[in-house]
Amino acid sequence: MCAEKENVDEMRQKSRKDTEKDWRPTIEQCEKILRTLVQVNTCQPEGNESILTGWIVNQIRKQKESAVTVIPFEHSKNRSSLIIKLKGRKKEGGLAFVGHLDTVACGNMSKWDYQPHMGVTKKGCMFGRGTADMKGGDAAMLLVLEKLLEEQTIPEEPIYFCFTADEENQGIGIQAIEKSGELNTIREMIICEPSNEQISICEKGAVWLRIFVTGHGAHASRPDLGINAIDLSYQFAMEMQRYLMEEPEHPILLRSTASVTRISGGIMTNMIPASAEMEMDIRTVPGIQYEDIMKMAEKAKNKLETNHLGAGITYQVLNYRPAIGTKKESVFLKKIINIAEKFEISTIPRGTFFYTDASQIIPQLSIPFVIAGPGDDSLAHCTNEYIELDSVARFAGLYYQYILGEIC
Predicted pLDDT of residue 92:
94
Query: What is the rounded CA–CA span in Å between residue 306 and residue 304?
Result: 5
Give strand ranges (E) for 204-340: 205-214, 218-219, 257-265, 271-272, 275-284, 312-321, 324-325
Of 19-33, 259-273, 288-302, the poorest mean pLDDT is in 19-33
Residue 3 has pLDDT above 60, yes or no: no
* Residue 250 banded pLDDT, cuts 50, 70, 90: very high
Per-residue pLDDT averaged across 279-297, rounded? 97
Please state which CATH class domain 205-321 belongs to: alpha beta
Query: Distance between terminal CA atoms of the chain?
Result: 22
CA 348 centroid distance within chain: 20
Tell how far CA 84 is from the center of its chain: 19
Q: pLDDT category, 22, cuts 50, 70, 90?
A: confident
The CA-CA-CA angle for residues 20, 153, 132, to 5°, reads 70
Q: What is the pLDDT at residue 10?
A: 55
Task: Tell me what the mean pLDDT of segment 245-262 comes to.
Answer: 97
Name every residue whose Cβ is closer than 8 Å to that of residue 143 and which is 6 or more positions away in sequence. Answer: 25, 29, 30, 33, 392, 396
Confidence of residue 65 (pLDDT cuts 50, 70, 90): confident
Please say if the pLDDT value at position 8 is more than 50: no
Q: What is the pTM of this model?
A: 0.91
Handedness of CA 218, 222, 227, 229 (dihedral sign): positive
**Tens of pLDDT, residues 165-220:** 999 999 999 999 999 999 999 999 999 999 999 999 999 999 999 999 999 999 99
Maximum CA extent, the chain: 96
pLDDT of residue 168: 96
**CA-only gyration radius of the chain, Å:** 25
Measured at the CA of 16, the angle between CA 60 and CA 57, to 5 degrees, comes to 5
* In the predicted structure, residue 4 carries a pLDDT above the cut 50: no
pLDDT at 66: 85
Mean pLDDT calculated for residue range 290-308: 98
Q: What is the pLDDT of residues 106-136, one digit of tens each?
A: 999 999 999 999 999 999 999 999 999 999 9
Domain layout of the chain by residue ranges: 2-203+324-407, 205-321
**Average pLDDT over all residues of the chain:** 94
Q: Residue 59 above 70 pLDDT? A: yes
Separation CA 164–CA 182 (nearest Å)? 14
At 49-58, the pLDDT tens digits run 999 999 999 9
141, pLDDT greater than 60: yes
CA gap 177, 174 in Å, rounded: 5
pLDDT of residue 193: 98
What is residue 382's predicted lDDT score, i.e. its pLDDT? 97
pLDDT above 50 for 312 = yes
Assign domain 2-203+324-407 to a CATH class.
alpha beta
- Least confident segment among 61-70, 94-103, 239-248: 61-70
